[in-house]
Amino acid sequence: MSRDSSRWLSWHTVVVFGFLYLPIVTLIIYSFNGSGVGGFPPRNLTLDWYRMLFADDAIWTSVLNSVLVAFAAMAISLAFGIPAALALDRANFPGKVLFRRLVLLPLILPGIITGLSLSILFHDTGVKLSKLTIILGHGTALISVASTEVFAGLQKLDRAQEEASLDLGASYWQTFWRVTIPNLRLSIIGAALLIFTLSMDEIAVSFFLIGRDNTLPLEIWGRLRRGITPEINAISTIIFLFSLIAIVTWYRLRTGEGKAEIAAEVVEAGQPS
Amino acid sequence: MFSRAYRAAITVPPLLWIAVFLVVPYALLFCYSFWSVSSSQVIVHSWSLDNYRELLHVHVYLQTLFRSMWIAARVTIFSLLLGYPLAYFLSFYAGDRKDLFYQLVIIPLWVSYLVRAYAWKTILGSDGVLNTLLQYVHLTKHPLEFLLYSPFAVVLTLTHIYTPFAFLPIYASLEHIPRNLVEASHDLGASPMQTFWRVIFPLSIPGVLAGATFAFVLSLGDFLAPLLLGGPSGLMISNIVVSLFGAAYDWPLGAAISLCMLLLVLALLFLSENLEKRWSFR
Amino acid sequence: MSTMTSQSEAGRETPGTARSLLAIHNVAKSFGKNPVLRDISLEIAQGEFLTILGESGSGKTTLLRIIAGFESADSGEILMEGERLDLQPPYRRQVNTVFQHYALFPHLTVEENVGYGLRVAKRPKEEIATRVDQALAMVKMSAFAKSKPAKISGGQQQRIALARALVNRPRLLLLDEPLSALDANLRRQMQVELKSLQREVGIAFVFVTHDQEEAMVMSDRIALLRMGELEQVASPREIYSRPATAYTAQFIGHTNLLKGEVRAGVARCGSLDWPVALPDGPVLYSLRPENLRVTKSMAGGPGVNVVRFRARIRHRAFHGSTELLQVECVDGLKLSVRTAGSDPRQDDLELEFSPEDAIPVRPSEERA
């Protein structure tokens, strides 16, 4: 390939990475800045904001709520997403195409629509908004993530293994638990990690389903309406670190499968077709 | 091949869940869009097209919708302009470091949206990092007002959020191009530039369409970035919906707008899908 | 040929009488620490059908790719009619390639695929149309002009790949194992077609394969490559009847290898001996199974200009028109013998061969 275009492309890549990471890096730097979130250059290196953060009960309550919601959402998404993936991969039934599109719809639709329509449902059925409603909302929205990941894992599954198991005398159920699920282990773990991370950050759906208990993003959101403090920088930095660990772990788990497949799968994750 | 019990077990639970928590809510949304709200804030179940008439005739709704689409269009274009060369570089030039670069691109994708939008807020404000930096190096005397609370801020932030989204499908489609096609093109006398336009780009179009669809649809329905950074001039259609479900309390009207958005999105998805099929050669 | 020839004879070719098209001088290539090609020198004549034959890992594909321009050699140079080819990028060389998996552009029709090189060169539309039609007719694929590659079979794709390359009238056509993906019958058919096509267009073909039968059937000359070095470059007939090394003798066809020693003008391999005009020293002979004959005479003893000996049949393999016998001599030496047929009741044989059929070959050691 020609020298010129590769040089131009390299510069472009540097610029794009700069653009992507600049805000995050700024945020982290200013979380240590004594003079607050703005102003250049940063001075007064301090850990005060972190100290404030750790003493802030409301934040930690919301973190707890978020973690609770995330685990519950994970459970729901996997419990319904794994069967959905299996159904899409193996079963034929009337309305299968419609089913597939419906399952994947919340991924591509702006979260506001999913959140709104669910809040109408709860309103009309008299269900009070609370952690439960948030859990139901997240679970619904994230079933698509679970089913996409597991579906991709199923594509790679060697049918011959299942056939061998049946041939050796195991029933369908036994084969499912002894052969199918273990082979899907990586997909399921990857899906779980992804769902957890997405749930922790979820705002759009949660916005409409929140009761008295805040999740972490909504707690931060509330404070932002009242005014900016560097404490938010501090919690953001911590969120960044956790996201970093989560996503690198997720990626490493899947590394054996090849990069293009992963890229393709994440793409599939967003396409309702 | 599988027993009926097994088949029932894997189809029925998800179907039920989807029916209860997706189909019914959408159906309710549909119904609400035809109802109205009384002055005492009670939802009245009287069917009419009043809400839709209001949407068409009261200026602000269509105006905001078009502004939202224009913002979404700009976000899409910029995301593609940033994301395509990045994907191309990773796929064809990065060699051994492809893996590392790929991780570097997807990491911001999973870092909290709110965190990133907030970060831009601290950068773009009149006391923010960028303005004080510019003043510090004496490039400007006064803070640049247009940076924050403007459509500019919304476009910038959303481009930041959605560039990795645009990147992913483009990268996937580029990776799927067999390298021997590139060699064959060179073998037949085409320079790298000619090869790009005649072979690589046409084969990457499905990825470009997918990325563009993502970026457009998701930024169209976004309400967070406008709320944080848009100011009055950067208001988008979802913000109107949010207030109709909040302080302005007109659920039916909000439902009508949501339904329109839903239909618009579905139409775009349908269009995009068909275009992708036409351009897919596998 | 002396058994003590030096390394400098490695890859010595039989000089051709035709004009030289491509001259490869001392090309070497390593991937990381792994040397794939070591010091290759080869001349390709105008209009000849040369096959680069070798096992996987021999470097044959790498050599082809260096000629095409997809890899660059670490050292050495390639000249085409006197000009440096290796300094040019692939899109400027007058060389075209037929790829192993065809590499047809999936988004273009067959017609558009074939015309690709001409469009890139900005030839006038009428010229492109005419030449594409001719090329398609030449490979008998005119009916498929408007189809997409995904809709045609492997064998048909292969013809299109051929047409796409030839339509540009290159000076040299490279073919990277183009027939390996086809089933046996189609393969044999294509071998014949390719050979006659080459005669028709008169362009030099450089054909890469691991199949020695294919190489023998199609080539004017064979360049046998082993672990990055040329073992021998010669016509099929010569490479078969006068192999230079043990590897060559075994890779092409079947052979028996006889280890022995020359002392005072007599070669002695186990219990066999015959007079030779060679200096003293260790020696290795290649003896083809078909050159061992079953004699009627059971009298034993030396015949005129033949080496005679007894052996016992250990195994018979029926091959239709011939039989392949595994025999064992009195001293334990095992040989393969090809005969027209043998008496199934008789296990003891008297065999003979002519000393000139025992070809001295260089031993082939393992290379680092």
Read out DSSP for A213-264? SPPHHHHHHHHHHH---HHHHHHHHHHHHHHHHHHHHHHHHHGGG-HHHHHH
CB nearest B180 (choices: C92, C103, C117): C103
C-alpha span between C151 and C186 (Å, rounded): 18
For residue B224, what are the CA distances in angstroms to A214, B114, B228, B243, B251?
17, 8, 6, 12, 20
User: Residue-wise over A117-146: b if at least 16 C-beta within 10 A, else e?
Assistant: bbbbbbbeeeeebebbbbbbbbbbbbbbbb
Q: Which is nearest to C53 in space by CA: C261, C254, C217, C259?
A: C217
Q: Is C99 on the interface with B (CB under 8 A)?
A: yes
In 3D, which of B71, B66, B240 has the Cα closest to residue B153? B71
Q: What is the mean pLDDT of residues A229-235?
A: 84
Instruction: Give the residue on C whose Cα is nearest the Cα of B186.
Output: C91
Spatial contact of A209 and A119, defined as CB atoms under 8 Å apart: yes
Closest-CA residue of chain B to C109? B281
| pLDDT attached to residue A269 | 46
From C92, C103, C117, residue closest to B181, measured CB to CB: C103
Flag if C91 and B184 touch (Cβ within 8 Å): no
Query: How far is the first Cα of chain C from the last one, in angstroms, to the nearest whole number?
Result: 26
Per-residue pLDDT of chain C (368 residues; tens, 9 = 90+): 343 333 334 444 445 456 899 999 999 999 988 999 999 999 999 999 999 999 998 999 999 999 999 999 999 999 998 899 999 999 999 999 999 889 999 999 999 999 999 999 999 999 999 999 999 999 999 999 999 999 999 889 999 999 999 999 999 999 999 998 888 898 999 999 999 999 999 999 999 999 999 999 999 999 999 999 999 999 999 999 999 999 999 999 899 999 999 998 898 888 888 988 889 999 999 999 999 988 876 555 555 688 888 899 999 999 888 999 999 998 888 999 999 877 777 888 888 899 989 999 999 876 55
The enclosing H or E element of A195 equals helix A185-201
In this model, does residue A42 exceed pLDDT 50? yes
Domain ranges of chain C: 18-251, 256-360
| CATH class of the region C18-251 | alpha beta
Touching B: C residues 100-129, CB under 8 Å: 100-101, 103-107, 116-117, 120-121
- Chosen for mutation from A76, A82, A116, A150 (greatest number of chain B CBs closer than 10 Å) is A116
Domain ranges of chain A: 48-269
Chain B / chain C CB contacts < 8 angstroms: 69
Q: Give the pLDDT confidence score for residue C232 in this predicted structure.
A: 94
Residue A273 has pLDDT above 60, yes or no: no
Contact state of B92 with A143 under an 8 Å Cβ cutoff? no
How far does B99 lie from chain C, in Å, by closest CA? 20
Cross-chain Cβ contact A27/B238 below 8 Å: no
Taking an 8 Å cut-off on Cβ atoms, the answer to whether B218 and A108 are in contact is yes
Amino acid at position C298, single letter: M
CA distance A45 to A31: 9
What is the distance between the alpha carbons of residues A90 and B10, in angstroms, rounded to a whole number? 10
Note down the domain range covering B262. Answer: 57-278
Check pLDDT > 80 for residue A264: no
**Mean pLDDT in residue range A14-43:** 84
| Minimum-distance CB partner of C116 among B188, B281, B282 | B188
Q: How far apart are CA C215 and CA C245, in angstroms?
A: 18
Q: Please give the residue of chain A at the shortest CA–CA distance from B125.
A: A38
The verdict on a CB contact (< 8 Å) between A109 and B15 is: no
Q: CB-CB: which of C91, C105, C164 is closest to B186?
A: C91
Provide, as residue numbers in chain B, all residues whose Cβ is less than 8 Å from the Cβ of A26.
Answer: 119, 122-123, 129
Cα(A229)–Cα(A215) distance, integer angstroms: 19
Q: How many CA atoms lie within 13 A of B251 on its CB side?
A: 22
On whether residue B202 sits in a domain, the answer given is yes
Please compute the mean of the pLDDT values over residues A225-236 and round it to a whole number.
81
Nearest CA in chain A to B274: A273
**Which backbone phi and psi does C21 adopt, to 5 degrees?**
-100, -50
pLDDT at C75: 94
- The CATH number given to whatever domain includes residue B213 is 1.10.3720.10
The topology under which CATH files domain C256-360 is: OB fold (Dihydrolipoamide Acetyltransferase, E2P) (2.40.50)
Record: contact C101-B189, CB cut-off 8 A = no
Q: What is the dihedral of CA C144, C146, C151, C155, to 10 degrees?
A: 30
From chain C, the residues in CB contact with B202 under 8 A are 107
| C177 contacts in chain B (CB < 8 Å) | none
Rounded to two decimals, what is the model's pTM? 0.84
Q: B278 contacts in A (CB within 8 Å)?
A: none
What average pLDDT score do residues A67-91 get? 92
CB contact under 8 A, C103 and B199: no
Our CA-based measurement puts residue C211 at a distance from the nearest CA of chain B, in whole angstroms, of 23
Instruction: Calculate mean pLDDT across residues B48-69.
Output: 89
- CB of B110 less than 8 A from some CB of A: yes
- Cβ pair C209, C219 in contact under 8 A: no
pLDDT at B116 over 50: yes
Q: Domains in chain B: how many in total?
A: 1
Confirm or reject contact between B30 and chain A (CB < 8 A).
no
| B184 → closest Cβ in C69, C99, C148 | C99
Choose the most confident range, by mean pLDDT, from A90-99, A132-141, B37-46.
A132-141
Judged against a pLDDT cut of 70, whether residue B249 lies above it is answered with yes
A91/B2 CB distance under 8 A: yes
Judged by CB atoms closer than 8 Å, whether chains meet at A120 and B255 is answered as yes
What are the residues whose beta carbons fall under 8 Å from the beta carbon of C294, sequence distance 6 or more?
A: C337, C339, C342, C349, C350, C351
pLDDT, mean over chain A: 84
Determine the distance in angstroms separating the CA of C310 from the nearest CA of chain B, rounded to an integer: 57
pLDDT of residue B8: 83
Q: Under CATH, which number does the domain A48-269 receive?
A: 1.10.3720.10
Interface of C with B in 306-365 (CB under 8 A): none
Min CA distance, A57 vs chain B (Å)?
20
CA distance B217 to B238: 12
Q: Does the beta-carbon distance from B89 to A13 stay under 8 Å?
A: yes
* C-chain residue closest to B183, CA distance: C70
Task: Identify the pLDDT of residue B2.
Answer: 60
pLDDT of A241 > 50? The answer is yes
Contact yes or no for A102 and B23 at CB 8 A: yes
Tell me how far apart the alpha carbons of residues B164 and A20 are, in angstroms, rounded to a whole number. Answer: 9
Q: Measuring CA to CA, which residue among C327, C339, C359 is closest to residue C295?
A: C339
Q: B114–A112: do the CB atoms touch at under 8 Å?
A: no
Tell me if B25 is assigned to some domain: no
C32 to chain B, any CB pair closer than 8 A? The answer is: no
Q: Which residues numbered 188-227 in B keep a CB inside 8 Å of some CB on A?
A: 191-193, 207, 210, 213-214, 217-218, 220-224
Question: What percentage of chain B has pLDDT greater than the value 90?
Answer: 51
Q: Given a contact as 3+ CB pairs under 8 Å, which chains touch A?
A: B
Per-residue three-class SS string for chain B: CCCHHHHHHHHHHHHHHHHHHHHHHHHHHHHHCCCEECCCCCEECCCCCHHHHHHHHCHHHHHHHHHHHHHHHHHHHHHHHHHHHHHHHHHHCCHHHHHHHHHHHHHHHHCCHHHHHHHHHHHHCCCCHHHHHHHHCCCCCCCCHHHCCCHHHHHHHHHHHHHHHHHHHHHHHHHCCCHHHHHHHHHCCCCHHHHHHHHHHHHHHHHHHHHHHHHHHHHHCCCHHHHHHHCHHHCCHHHHHHHHCCCCCCHHHHHHHHHHHHHHHHHHHHHHHHHHHHCCCC
Binary contact (C91, B181; C-beta < 8 A):
no
Tokens of C190: 């294509």
Residue A204, token pair as written in the block: 């759009």
Range B233-238 average pLDDT? 90
C107–B184 CB contact, under 8 Å: no
Q: Which of 62-91 (C) contact B at CB < 8 A?
A: 68-70, 89-91
Interchain pair B188, C96: CB under 8 A? yes
Q: How confident is the model at residue B233 (pLDDT cuts 50, 70, 90)?
A: confident
* Residues C91, B189: C-beta atoms closer than 8 Å: yes
Question: What percentage of chain A has pLDDT greater than the value 90?
Answer: 26
In which band, very low, low, confident or very high, does the pLDDT at B168 lie, cut at 50, 70 and 90? very high
